[in-house]
Structure 1
Amino acid sequence: MKILKLKSPGKINLRLDVFDKRPDGYHNIRMLNSAVNVYDDIEIQLVERGVEIVCDNDPLVPLGEDNIAFKACKEIMAYSNKNVGVRIVIKKNIPVASGMGGGSSNAASVIMGLNQMLKINLSIEKLMKIGFRFGSDIPFFMFGAPAVATGIGETLTKVKKMPTMPMVLVNPGVSVPTKSVYEKYQRTNSLTPVELPNEFTTKKAVVRVLNNDLERVTTKQVPVVQEIKEMLMKYGALASQMTGSGPTVFGIFPDKEKAEKAAKKVQTHGDTKWRVFVAENV
C-alpha cells in the first residue's frame, strides 16, 4: 500500500517563561518557539489492520500506548470511514527527552500525514485541537511558523519575521523528563516579563530576549549544561541557552562557517557521549 514519507523537525525555545501553577497541575508559560532543521524521518504506511510503531535506531522510543504518536494515530483514524490499519516507521535523529520536542513533532507529523492519506480533510485548527489532547507542544509543530505560545502552549501567535540563525546544538547524552523539572521548579521572579515583539529583524534582537526559567533547575540535575553553555560562548557564540526542560543547549552564531568550526571544536574537546548538530531555524 501507499507510503508517505515526512520530515519531522525539532524545535528550540528562544524564550521560556514559567509563571504560576494552575489548578490542573500545569504551569502557565510563555514560550518563543522556532523549529530547527534537525529532523526525524517518518514513514506512514496504510496496512490491512491495527496500529504499529517501529523504531529500530533508538531504544528509548516507546512503541505502544506510551508513544504519543501512537495515541494520536488512533484518534485521527476515528475520523476516517476507511477500514484500514497504519504502520509508522520512525527513524530518530532528535534525541529523546532532550528539550527539542521530538515526540511531539512525530505526533504532529502523523496527524497531518493521516489527514492527507485518508482524505479526512479536517482543518488545521481542528488538527491542532486533536494534537493538543496528547501534548501541549504538538500544535506548534502544525502551525508552520515561529510563534509565541501562551497558556500551557495551546495559544499560538505568529512571529512575522525571524532572521536565519546558524546555530550549534549540543545534547549531553542524558534524558531529562519534562515532568520532573517542572515539579522541582520554584518561581523566584515576580517581575513582569519583557514584552516580546512580533518580529525580529536581527540576531541581536533575538539574543536580547533569550531566557529559560527552567535552566537553573535542570543545571542542578545535569551540571554539564553550564559547561556546554560556556564552551559554546568560548568558541564564538553570540549567546547560548538551554532549550525546553533540557538538557540540549544551543548557541547562536554570526554565520554558518563559525558554527561549523565551533561544532568541530566541541566534538574534539567535549565528551564522546555528546551529540552535536549544526543547524538553523526553519
Structure 2
Amino acid sequence: MHWIAPAKINIFLRVLNKRADGYHNIFSLMQKVALCDELIFSPRPKGVVLHCSGMNLPANNENLVVRAAKAIFDYCKYSGGMEITLHKKIPVTAGLGGGSSDAATTLMALNKICSFKLKKNELIKIGAKIGADVPFFIFGNEALASGIGDKLKHLRNLPKLDII
C-alpha cells in the first residue's frame, strides 16, 4: 500500500521563550506543500523493518517512522509486524518537517491497514510523543500553531496561492 507524506512550510514563524523541557514556544502558520516522501507498507508476521532510499538515513529506532510504527503497535497491543519502504525526497534537516510527516503518515497508514479504528485525536496524542510537528501532519492541510507546535487551530477559506 502506497502513502504520500507531504512537506510543510512555515508561512511565518515566531520563536518565543525557551521552556524548561528544552523546547521553544512558537507561533506559526503552517501549510502542507506538494513536495512529498513516499511510504510503502507490507504486512509481515512480526517486528518493524524499514528500508530507506533517496538519502542515507538510519533504519532503526532513530528513525521516526520506526518509532511511529512501534508506538501505534504498542498503543493498540498489536502483535503483528510491518515492512516499510521510505522513498525520501524531502531534504533532511531543512525545516520542512519530512521526518515528522513520515511519522504521521505511518500512524495514519497503520491505523487503516491494521483496522485499529483510532480517531484523529488519538493519533495526534500518539504523534505528539514522537515529535512536535507530527500532530500537524495528522491535523490538516494548514493550521495556526502555538505551544511547541502541538496546539493547532484550523484556518478556513485561505486563498489559493502559488509559492516559489
Show the 5 A alignment for 1:1-282.
4-59=1-56, 61-168=57-164
Q: Does structure 1 retain, via aligned residues, the 8 Å contact 2:128–2:134? A: yes
Aligned with 1:76: secondary structure? Answer: helix
Cα deviation for residue 121 of structure 1 reads: 0.9
Q: Measure how far apart 1:132 and its partner are.
A: 0.6
* Aligned-pair CA distance for 1:80: 3.4
CA contact (8 A) 1:55 1:89 kept: yes
Looking at structure 1, the residues matched to 161 and 138 of structure 2 have their Cα atoms a distance apart, in angstroms, of 21
Residues 57 and 154 (structure 1), Cα distance of their counterparts in 2 relative to 1, 3 Å cut: same
Output the CA distance in 1 between the equivalents of 2:36 and 2:18.
Answer: 32
Q: Structure 1: which 4+ aligned runs deviate by more than 4 Å? A: none
What is the identity, as a one-letter code, of the residue corresponding to 1:123? K
| CA distance 1:68–1:120, shift in 2 (3 Å) | same
For 1:167 and 1:146, the matched residues in 2 are separated by 15
Deviation at 1:166, TM superposition (A): 1.4
RMSD of the TM alignment (CA)? 1.1
Aligned-pair identity (%)? 38
**Number of equivalenced pairs:** 164
Distance 2:119 2:98 in 1: 23
Cα deviation for residue 81 of structure 1 reads 4.9
What SS does structure 2 have at the residue aligned with 1:134?
coil
Q: Select the structure that is richer in helix.
A: 1
Does the 8 Å CA contact 1:79/1:120 hold for their aligned counterparts? Answer: no
Specify every segment of 5 or more residues in structure 1 that has no aligned partner in the other structure, as ranges: 169-282
Q: Name the SS of the counterpart of 2:53 in structure 1.
A: coil
Q: Secondary structure of the residue that 1:167 maps to in structure 2? A: coil
Secondary structure, counterpart of 1:93 in structure 2: coil
Verify the 8 A CA contact 1:8 1:40 in the aligned structure 2: yes
